[in-house]
Structure 1
Amino acid sequence: MKIPSLRSLLAPVLAVTLAAPLYAAEPDLSVVVSILPLQTMVEAIGGDHVSATVLVPPGAPPAVFEMSPRQTAALQDSALYVAMGIPHERNWMPQVQAANPDLPIVRMFDHVKVRTITGTDPRGGKELPDPHIWTGPAQLRDMAMAIRDALSTVAPDHAGDFATNTETWLARLDAVDAEAREKLAPHAGKAFLVFHPAFGYLADAYGLRQIAIEERGMEPGPQTIANAVASARAENIRVIFVQAQLSTEEARTVAAEIGGEVVTLDVLAPDPIETIATVADAFVAAFQ
């Protein structure tokens, strides 16, 4: 049976968008989110009642983000802050609380099962939590329900709409998840090579193994690169996946050593469901 492209499942979303009225009512709830995938989720679940502002702009890595005066002003007018709860957010949390001391905050990390990244944190000797929770289908389901509940708390009059929108969003996620699972099932147990370990949740969901060049957020040294080359050769890997926001120099060095290629994936793309579809298709192509 021919399996359709995962992107075909996303076409109805575009159709609904194009059919929307030219002029819509002004949203009555302003929400601030930390990263772009959360903006898409909050606005999908909030519907016409919610407008979301993202702190970390498209293309910017959260690790080096600095808040602007415009973003501080947006926080002052917000009814809710939807945070990932990742370590990098601690850097700007004092500014968030100073701008709006009474701002309700919901942290996605508090509502999902968090995996750890192999190795230890060089700063404290503890295992590092994997921050990329929006790349796992199970985590996305829990995040959607947490967003629904948080919006319903600050705007209870619209709780019914939030619940309906959440069910619609989850149905779309379930469809893409099922297609990804079917496509990747023949490749269960296979390894893929990444520069930055951004797809551990996705790997766990679909029975794959992630091999990362970067370790614990540190630039790889010669021995680390040599280990990556050895792993790639042992696993017959010819594709190295890199994150759109990061340097690819070390990845290209490894690719040259193994006679492979570098493929860019945007883990911070706006739509996390579409990211699962895109990454699954990229992995299937790499495994051929």
Structure 2
Amino acid sequence: MKFRIHHLAILSLSALLIAAGCGNNNASNSSTTTNASGAAEATALPESSKLNIKVSFYPIYEFTKNVAGDLADVEALIPAGIEPHDWEPTAQDMAEISDADMLIYNGAGMEGWVDQVLESVSGTPLITVEASKGLDIMEGTEEEEADHHHEEGEHAHEDGEHAHEEGEHAHEEGEHAHEEGEHAHEEHSHDHGGLDPHVWLNPTLAIQEVRNIEAALAAAAPEHAEDFKTNAEAYVAKLEQLDQEFKDGLKDTKRKDFITQHAAFGYLAKQYGLTQVPIAGLSPEQEPSAANMSKIVEFAKEHKVKTIFFETLVSSSVADTIAKEIGAKAAVLNPIEGLTEEDRSQNLDYLGIMRQNLEALKSALNE
């Protein structure tokens, strides 16, 4: 998917920076560097004011809020119920980012709009923190698929050129197939850049993100460093307990492979000895090819899969189609990219949804 920041947003931000003298009144003495862990370092902010922190989407909000406690105002840019792959900042969002002390985002290609935002605020006192910095980021699944389409297009183009001697129509078909291959390749380049950003779905990697966030907050407000450390330790203990629950719950399952509509669970699968079999790639909007759908159906029948997982915030139609084809059921495995209204009504948070995911996996892997 292509993420664009409208010219209006850029111009609005430029005007704000000029009007404010390219500075943030709450953090006028701060500067941004990067330490060995990849978290941001900054000089102290005024003690009289809370940190004003903008974060990209829900998991980063949850981690940041638990570390910051009452010592910062933390707000997610992407509203609840919005698929983060679909979101791009408005002029108002850009203004709010420029007025904040800190912007914290996941990174690893998840927020396709971040690079342009960072370029726009370069030279301002805004502290930026990539929570996944320093983590072992895996390659995604889309590049291979897109490159495969691209090679098919090149091959068809060559066939078309060869057929030119026999007729212009065959040549045009080859050109058309070549363009389709180029289009598939171009679409890939605007998704996650070939990287899998879903690190928060592995509790041990979530702990590392929390640590990066803690280091950044402590650097920005050193007078509260001990408070941030205490808060982080308390939340890390909960994540460690969650990790143990996943280890205990998944170690002796009857099967180790599960089919998902969206390739979001690679880190979780790797951590607990499972195999994710995705219907489509990293982007939830990616439509699987007919050939890939056929392969998934064949795999599901061969391995007697009885559950096809889909996710919240996007249509379940692909998972429903495959489930109906093989006589299986469709069930939710939540990538926690944003809370739904139902999640909020049940007061669910990251830990609660992860435990729901664990129960869903235990059920499917023991059928």
TM-score range with shorter-chain normalisation?
Answer: 0.7 to 0.9
Distance 1:216 1:176, change over 3 A: closer
SS at match of 2:111: helix
Instruction: Give, as a single letter, the amino acid of the residue that structure 1 aligns with 2:68.
Output: G
Partner of 1:228: 296
Partner of 1:17: none
Deviation for aligned residue 1:88: 4.7
Partner of 1:210: 276
In the alignment, is the contact (CA less than 8 A) between 2:135 and 2:205 conserved in 1? yes
**Take 1:174 and 1:48, find their aligned partners in 2: how far apart are those partners?**
23
TM-score by length of 1: 0.83
Partner of 2:138: 115
The answer to whether residue 357 in structure 2 is matched with residue 279 in structure 1 is: yes
In the alignment, is the contact (CA less than 8 A) between 2:53 and 2:75 conserved in 1? yes
**Take 1:154 and 1:108, find their aligned partners in 2: how far apart are those partners?**
15
**Take 1:27 and 1:286, find their aligned partners in 2: how far apart are those partners?**
49
**Take 1:52 and 1:110, find their aligned partners in 2: how far apart are those partners?**
20
Q: In the TM superposition, what whole-angstrom CA distance separates every residue of 1:21-77 from its partner, at most 9, and x where no partner exists? A: xxxxx9711111111111111011011101211122222222221213442232132
Deviation for aligned residue 1:269: 4.4
In the alignment, is the contact (CA less than 8 A) between 1:72 and 1:99 conserved in 2? no
**Take 1:119 and 1:36, find their aligned partners in 2: how far apart are those partners?**
24
Deviation for aligned residue 1:171: 0.5
* The one of 106, 111, 127 aligned to 1:104: 127
Q: In the TM superposition, what whole-angstrom CA distance separates every residue of 1:201-253 from its partner, at most 9, and x where no partner exists? A: 11111111100000354311211111111111122211111121222211111
Partner of 2:310: 242
Partner of 1:193: 259
SS at match of 1:67: coil
* The one of 87, 90, 100 aligned to 1:68: 90
In the alignment, is the contact (CA less than 8 A) between 1:187 and 1:208 conserved in 2? no
Q: Which runs of 5+ in 1 are unaligned?
A: 1-25
* The one of 122, 146, 153 aligned to 2:219: 153
* The one of 87, 91, 113 aligned to 2:109: 87
Partner of 2:78: 56
**Take 1:177 and 1:192, find their aligned partners in 2: how far apart are those partners?**
19
Which deviates the most, 100-109 or 88-97?
88-97
Q: Which runs of 5+ in 2 are unaligned?
A: 1-47, 147-184, 340-348
SS at match of 2:237: helix
**Take 1:31 and 1:188, find their aligned partners in 2: how far apart are those partners?**
45
Instruction: Give, as a single letter, the amino acid of the residue that structure 2 aligns with 1:103.
Output: L
In the alignment, is the contact (CA less than 8 A) between 1:72 and 1:96 conserved in 2? no
**Take 2:88 and 2:126, find their aligned partners in 1: how far apart are those partners?**
20
Which deviates the most, 184-193 or 267-276?
267-276
Which deviates the most, 121-130 or 227-236?
121-130
**Take 1:44 and 1:197, find their aligned partners in 2: how far apart are those partners?**
28
Cα-Cα RMSD:
2.3
TM-score by length of 2: 0.66
Partner of 1:261: 329
Distance 1:65 1:86, change over 3 A: farther
Partner of 1:139: 205
In the alignment, is the contact (CA less than 8 A) between 2:67 and 2:228 conserved in 1? yes
Number of matched pairs: 263
**Take 1:89 and 1:108, find their aligned partners in 2: how far apart are those partners?**
12
Aligned-residue identity in percent: 27
Instruction: Give, as a single letter, the amino acid of the residue that structure 1 aligns with 2:216.
Output: A
Partner of 2:10: none
The answer to whether residue 243 in structure 2 is matched with residue 174 in structure 1 is: no
**Take 2:119 and 2:54, find their aligned partners in 1: how far apart are those partners?**
13
Instruction: Give, as a single letter, the amino acid of the residue that structure 1 aligns with 2:134.
Output: H
More strand per residue: 1 or 2? 1
Distance 1:143 1:72, change over 3 A: same
Partner of 1:31: 53
Structure showing greater radius of gyration is 2
**Take 1:266 and 1:142, find their aligned partners in 2: how far apart are those partners?**
21
In the alignment, is the contact (CA less than 8 A) between 1:245 and 1:266 conserved in 2? no
**Take 2:237 and 2:282, find their aligned partners in 1: how far apart are those partners?**
35
SS at match of 2:133: helix
In the alignment, is the contact (CA less than 8 A) between 2:204 and 2:240 conserved in 1? no
